[in-house]
Amino acid sequence: MSRAIVLVHGAQHSSTCWTPTVAALAALRPDIEVLAVDLPGRRTNPADLRTVGIADCVASVVADVERIGADEVILVAHSMAGVTVPGVAEALGAQRVSRMVYIAAAMPPNGESVLQDLVGDLQQDVTDKVADPGEPAPFPREFAERMFCNGMTPEQLEFSVAGLCADSDLLATTPVDRSGMPTSIPRSWILTGQDRAVTPDQQRAHIDNLGGVEDVVEIDTCHNVMISEPEMLAKVFAEYFDRS
């Protein structure tokens, strides 16, 4: 039976953001197959970002899983991927998804949008971005550094901001529907303790919104943990792989 860990990136990012963690996991456990996907509108998956919605992202991830022929997967959702992975789990079914792992994930109450669930400066910044009639664009560097990269080394910070890309506003403005997500699939949460984009308190509320989370692993780092602490994250993934 073919098993794989499927890594789904968040907003303003692509599969490239997982590169340090994929390398760390390959060094630690070369036996584990890893798939880092590009959601629609990224370099390997072109699409019109003005029309890409949650359903399009779900279909894209499912197609990537089918392409590698994985019989069983662990689905990993970072940040905005929290709106996509429940639909992927629904499409693949509990017989093929052995675990869902959410990392600082966007998880509004069911029936609400991510934008409705945001608070403070981030809500205003995203609202302003959604209201901008121009072409989709990445967040300004200063904003990205503050929200995603606090505490990183200079090299990690440069890697992070170099990989930023434009994203679809629909992912933030469309109400989520998790009603079809199989409740029998184990759920885990990786809580980023120094996160400015999704604060620890917000993440705890998101854990409650998701429900059924059986364990929480806290890593004392920024939002982009896959870049700031790749070795630590790789160890957590390997443990989940062995448990699933």
Specify whether the CB–CB gap between 193 and 218 falls below 8 A. yes
- Cβ-proximal residues to 59 (8 Å cutoff; 6+ apart), any chain: 91
Q: Report residue 24 as tokens.
A: 């760390």
Which pTM was predicted? 0.96
Give the pLDDT confidence of 166-190 residue by residue, as tens digits.
Answer: 999 999 999 999 999 999 999 999 9
| pLDDT higher than 70, residue 122 | no
pLDDT in the model for residue 119: 64
With helix as H, strand as E and coil as C, how does the chain read? Answer: CCEEEEEECCCCCCHHHHHHHHHHHHHHCCCCEEEECCCCCECCECCCCCCCCHHHHHHHHHHHHHHHCCCEEEEEEEHHHHHCHHHHHHHHCCCCEEEEEEECCCCCCCCCCHHHHCCHHHHHHHHHHHHCCCCCCCCCHHHHHHHHCCCCCHHHHHHHHHCCCCCCCHHHHCCCCCCCCCCCCCEEEEEECCCCCCCHHHHHHHHHHHCCEEEEEEECCCCCHHHHCHHHHHHHHHHHHHHC
Instruction: Give the pLDDT mean for 92-114.
Output: 97
